[in-house]
């Protein structure tokens, strides 16, 4: 129970089904909002269910923070929410819950299930399967997504009708554990500023930057370019030279036709082997695009060139409502 409306309503729905449930709040990082734990506790009191807070700061530092910093240092842009689901929520915590005798773990994620098959949520605008692709398939038999069949507005209405105090609570945006701290300020704790050059595709120096690791390929805002002629986008980062190359909208360097992937996790191998063309998403809430997946070569080829594909982020594969699996984008090939 995060203290938000989705996990709160999930607990409510399971309680109404007559299930024996316990609310668990995960304290994972010093930047965590103390109010979230209190909100979760208040909901648990209203529902009359036991409530506990698990301190997982040590595990979180090891599995998520260190991974995130290492990835940024390589010049890639990690997705810590994917990492957290894989190693913390449905990794360390999942295993601990089973050891304590619980039979299933419920989550407020917007996703659905059919047996052990992971399916898209009913609310496509809120679908969170993009962040769940790295969870191994056998675990889904013990995971419940109570709000996955509802629209977000319906979930809020359920909370309001049952007088849950969080029904108007705003959603947390961005990286879940950074809170109100800006990402760059957070990274400065681990990666010290290191001034470098910003150049355009013709090699002209346009400005300076405080470190390649603070930027994402495809990023537009936050660039220290004051000579006009923009807007410019980060087209490429060269870590060994601490160099950022920028390009104007429409430049071929901003588009990608083929990528190489790593850390592949396939949930539906039969479908992926049978279907030559599937759909893919390389950003959360991005429209699905047609693609071909070559598991042997670990590549994904888009039928149409795609703009702003960021190495380090996740690419997730779909066929109809099925989540076929996903991978981490290693680099752009074409």
Q: In CATH, what number is assigned to the domain containing residue 59?
A: 3.40.50.620
Do 106 and 71 share a structural domain?
yes
Considering the domain architecture, whether residues 119 and 200 belong to the same structural domain is answered as no
**Does the annotation count 83 as an active-site position?**
no
Q: Please determine, for residue 174, whether its predicted confidence score (pLDDT) is greater than 60.
A: no
Task: Give the mean pLDDT of 295-317.
Answer: 96
| 32 is known as an active-site residue | no
Please indicate, yes or no, if residue 148 is contained in any of the structural domains: yes
**What is d(CA 126, CA 120) in angstroms, rounded to the nearest whole number?**
10
Mean pLDDT along residues 79-100: 94
* Whole-number average pLDDT of the chain: 92
Q: Report d(CA 193, CA 188) in Å as an integer.
A: 7
**Does the pLDDT of residue 179 top 60, yes or no?**
no
The pLDDT value given to residue 171 = 66
Domain that holds residue 217: 192-249
Whether 183 maps to a domain, the answer reads no
Instruction: Name which of 268, 263, 262 is nearest 325 in CA terms.
Output: 268
Q: Identify the CA nearest to 32 among candidates 5, 69, 60, 70.
A: 60
Residues 274 and 237 in one domain: no
Mean pLDDT of 26-31: 79
pLDDT category at 187 given cuts 50, 70, 90 is: confident
d(CA 125, CA 286): 9
- How many domains, in total, are found in the chain? 3
177 within a domain of the structure (yes/no):
no
| Domain termination residue (choose one: 117, 143, 161) | 161
Indicate whether 127 pLDDT > 60: yes
Domain boundary among 203, 223, 249: 249
- Residue 312 sits in a domain whose CATH number is 2.40.30.10
Of 26, 47, 84, 97, the catalytic one is 84
Both tokens of 332, joined, read: 């752009």
Clarify whether residues 10 and 153 are in a common domain: yes
* Residue 208, domain CATH: 2.30.30.280
Residue 54 covered by a domain: yes
Residue 169 within any structural domain of the chain:
no
Specify whether 276 is located in the same domain as 138. Answer: no
What is the per-residue pLDDT across 36-79, written as a single tens digit (0 to 9) for each?
A: 889 999 999 999 999 999 999 999 999 999 999 999 999 999 99
* pTM of the predicted model over 0.75: yes
Residues 209 and 317 in one domain: no
Q: Answer yes or no: do 14 and 79 share one domain.
A: yes
The predicted-structure confidence for 245-265, as pLDDT tens digits, reads as follows 999 999 999 999 999 999 999
In a domain, 180, yes or no: no
Domain presence at residue 123: yes
Q: Is residue 176 part of a domain?
A: no
Final residue belonging to a domain, choices 206, 225, 249 = 249
- Residues 213 and 68 grouped into a single domain: no
Pair (29, 156) in one structural domain: yes
pLDDT 10s digits, 275-294: 999 999 999 989 999 999 99
Residues 150 and 64 in one domain: yes
pLDDT at 196: 96
| Residue 177 reports pLDDT greater than 60 | no
Cα-Cα-Cα-Cα dihedral sign, residues 68, 71, 77, 78:
negative
Note whether 244 and 259 are same-domain residues: no
The single residue of 176, 178, 223, 245 carrying the catalytic annotation is 176
Is residue 269 domain-shared with residue 235, that is, in the same domain? Answer: no
pLDDT of residue 229: 80
Question: Does pLDDT of 195 surpass 80?
Answer: yes
């Amino acid at each position: 129970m995060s203290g938000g409306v989705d996990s709160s309503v999930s607990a409510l729905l399971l309680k109404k089904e007559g299930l024996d449930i316990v609310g668990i709040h995960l304290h994972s990082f010093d930047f965590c909002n103390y109010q979230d734990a209190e909100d979760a506790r208040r909901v648990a009191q209203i529902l009359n269910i036991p409530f506990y807070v698990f301190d997982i700061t040590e595990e979180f530092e090891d599995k998520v923070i260190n991974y995130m910093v290492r990835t940024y240092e390589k010049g890639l842009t990690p997705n810590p929410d994917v990492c957290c689901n894989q190693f913390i929520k449905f990794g360390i915590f999942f295993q601990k819950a089973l050891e304590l005798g619980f039979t299933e773990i419920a989550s407020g994620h917007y996703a659905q299930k059919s047996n052990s098959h992971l399916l898209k949520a009913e609310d496509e605008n809120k679908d969170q399967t993009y962040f769940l692709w790295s969870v191994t398939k056998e675990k889904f038999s013990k995971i419940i997504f109570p709000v996955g069949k509802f629209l977000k507005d319906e979930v809020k209405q359920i909370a309001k009708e049952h007088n849950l105090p969080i029904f108007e609570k705003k959603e947390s945006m961005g990286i879940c554990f950074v809170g109100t701290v800006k990402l760059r300020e957070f990274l400065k704790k681990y990666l010290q500023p290191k001034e470098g050059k910003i150049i355009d595709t013709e090699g002209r120096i346009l400005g300076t930057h405080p470190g390649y690791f603070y930027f994402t390929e495809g990023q537009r805002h936050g660039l220290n370019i004051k000579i006009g002629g923009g807007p410019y986008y980060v087209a490429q980062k060269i870590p060994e030279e601490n160099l950022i190359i920028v390009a104007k909208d429409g430049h071929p360097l901003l588009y990608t036709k083929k990528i190489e992937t790593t850390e592949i996790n396939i949930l539906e191998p039969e479908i992926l082997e049978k279907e030559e063309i599937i759909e893919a998403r390389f950003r959360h809430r991005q429209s699905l695009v047609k693609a071909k997946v070559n598991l042997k070569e670990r590549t994904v080829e888009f039928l149409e060139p795609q703009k702003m594909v960021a190495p380090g982020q996740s690419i997730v594969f779909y066929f109809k409502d099925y989540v076929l699996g996903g991978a981490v984008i290693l680099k752009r090939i074409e």
